[in-house]
Structure 1
Amino acid sequence: MPEQVLVAGETLVDFIPDRPGSLEDVSGFERRPGGAPANVAVALARLERPPLFWTRVGADPFGRFLEGTFAEYGVPDNFVERDADAKTTLAFVTHDETGDREFSFYRDGTADTRLEPGRIDDETLTECEWVHAGGVALASGSSHAATLDLLERAAAAGCTVSFDPNLRPELWPDEETFADSVGDALAHVDVCLATAAELAAIGCPGESPTEAARAVIDRWPVHTVFVTRGSEGAVALAADDAPWPADAVDQPGFDVDAVDTTGAGDAFVAGSIAALRDGRPLEDATRFANAVAATAITEPGAMTALPTRDEVATLLEEHRSAG
């Protein structure tokens, strides 16, 4: 049986401010590795399931920094491409007193927008049980076509395909273009992980997160939808054709001291993939993913705050004892 996970998409360098505030007011930043798919890849490695990671970095100091980071976390470099003609993407992060954040991207023609279709061969896909990608890669460059090509071929190869729309409005000309691109991706997806706002942006609003999830399942061949709700936890819905029992669950979040929410959604994605691959039912998988995300926000940074299985188990046990 195939056992590998392949994560695909952007990697970049986040510059984290030394204090809350707007970019014009913050004077100091700390360099951190980031990018949603990169965070997912490292999170899976931290959860003792290192995946393959297909991405592209510049042949510059920031690219070498990211390559070293992946090596440090045990993410294989088989599909980490180096682009001699493009720079590595940068993002400046700002956050408020609660840890909520906004991004300013420097991503015009950068390496991660230059993924090319066909770079992942058919033999690799036959070895993959699961393939995951995100919406930022659809926003510009050849990475748009490369991502759709990968998802279509992964679905044809029998992989479980998951997708995170990951809406970043500043990267898209308008919401309609975002919705169309995500819709093209969801035509090949089994598991969608999104916020209610992202589902509304692709034409699937609902009076409740469960209704929004149902709208996705009714419109595309998606069989499972997770709707993340920040500190309130997450809702998940699995249809009858899901490979795990059909269910609708609403799992509350964990009460932790939030320091930085950057990467929380990516931690949730990794937790969901890891739990479902472990054979956990949907309710347990959602609770586990919530715990991974909650643990990740107790430290600054995205990738550097991702927890181990032992750290997640500690949080679950603490709340089990308290409850």
Structure 2
Amino acid sequence: MTDSDPDVLVAGEALVDFLPDSTGPLSDVENFSRRAGGAPANVAVALARLDATPWFWTRVGDDPFGDHLAATLSSFGVPDRFVERDPEAKTALAFVSHDADADRAFTFYRDGTADTRVEPGGVPDETLESVEWVYVGGVMLAAEPGRSATLDLAERATERDCTVVFDPNARPELWERTDRDFSGLVAEMLEFADVVKATTEELQAAGFEGESPEALSKAVAETGPHTVLVTLGGSGAFVHATDRAPWGGGTASHGGYDVEPVDTTGAGDAFTAGALAALAEAERDEISLSEMLGFANAVAAVTTTGAGAMAALPTREAVREFRE
């Protein structure tokens, strides 16, 4: 390892999104555009765009779609050290449909795909000892052996004092045929998580009671995480931090930004990357929770103004200009 190596590790699925050329139900869409996607992949690229390039641990098929994902990640400057290729499984696909407000729904083709087949130990202990932050996504909990590999990674990261960031990223379709309950696995992951980012709907699906971001975030913090970020779509976001947080305790909210959305795919992932980048700075420079939310919401807002999750991710300079 060298001083220039990343201090963030992102772990999770990379897949290909097929974006519709029109709104309405998927059965009515005739044409799609291919885009690289997957929440963790989006987070990894967003961090690279924000000058915080991470390691990215994922697995894609040794097929044309895997070639596309590997090339796209490389084009954004994401190192390929932990981008595995699977000669025996296909790359995961997701077909996206949009309603009139650009909100999206997903139809996944992910049974036995390469991303589900990462195995425990894929990231060595020495790498975890060299990074300060580890992000994991909840989609990886839906199938084995990726589930065990993700839990193992989070546990080993915790043992090495990494700050573990967890995004439940609830996708109900992926849990219909699993042998484990979503809420139970989220609870298991929260034993290792320090920072959680989720929507109110995801937290409720995970079994937390409450309607308001305040009530839900407090309930999550009582299980172990010291910082809980609740995203509210076009209404912004809320954060609750306990006194155990390195940046200090407190709450803050931000109402978001008024933009004309083109595609909301990846907006939550952009927010996560913005928040992670800002929180890393907060440990050093005492950035307030309110300022962190403002920056993260700006990253997300700019992302919604273009098509495709990765293609629309902004640089720090673009975020600065947007906020001026």
Question: Is residue 164 from structure 1 mapped to residue 179 from structure 2 by the alignment?
Answer: no
Runs of at least 4 residues off by over 4 Å: none
**Matching residue's letter, 2:251:** A
**Matching residue's letter, 1:256:** V
Per the alignment, residue 187 of structure 1 pairs with 191
From 77, 80, 87, the counterpart of 1:77: 80
Per the alignment, residue 115 of structure 2 pairs with 112
Counting only pairs closer than 5 Å after superposition, residues 85-234 of structure 1 correspond to structure 2 as 85-173=88-176, 177-218=181-222, 220-234=223-237
Structure 2 counterpart SS, 1:48: coil
From 285, 289, 305, the counterpart of 1:282: 289
Please state how far the C-alpha of 1:252 moved relative to its aligned partner. 0.5
Per the alignment, residue 300 of structure 1 pairs with 307
Structure 1 counterpart SS, 2:59: strand
Per the alignment, residue 270 of structure 2 pairs with 267
Asked if 1 retains the 8 angstrom alpha-carbon contact of 2:190 and 2:224, the reply is yes
Task: State the TM-score, normalized to the length of structure 1.
Answer: 0.96
Asked if 1 retains the 8 angstrom alpha-carbon contact of 2:230 and 2:237, the reply is yes
**Matching residue's letter, 1:302:** A
**Aligned equivalents of 2:101 and 2:212: distance in 1?**
25
Task: State the TM-score, normalized to the length of structure 2.
Answer: 0.95
Per the alignment, residue 10 of structure 2 pairs with 7
Name structure 2 gaps, 5 residues minimum: none
**Aligned equivalents of 1:258 and 1:212: distance in 2?**
27
Deviations 1:132-180 (A, max 9, x none): 0110000012000000000000011010000000000000038980101
Deviations 1:22-48 (A, max 9, x none): 111110000000000000000000001
Per the alignment, residue 247 of structure 1 pairs with 250
**Matching residue's letter, 1:173:** E
**Aligned equivalents of 1:93 and 1:203: distance in 2?**
27
**Aligned equivalents of 1:181 and 1:222: distance in 2?**
15
Asked if 2 retains the 8 angstrom alpha-carbon contact of 1:15 and 1:93, the reply is yes
* CA distance 1:276–1:158, shift in 2 (3 Å): same
Q: CA RMSD in A?
A: 1.3
**Matching residue's letter, 1:300:** A
Identity among equivalent positions (%) equals 57
**Matching residue's letter, 2:213:** P
Please state how far the C-alpha of 1:3 moved relative to its aligned partner. 5.8
Alignment size in residue pairs: 316
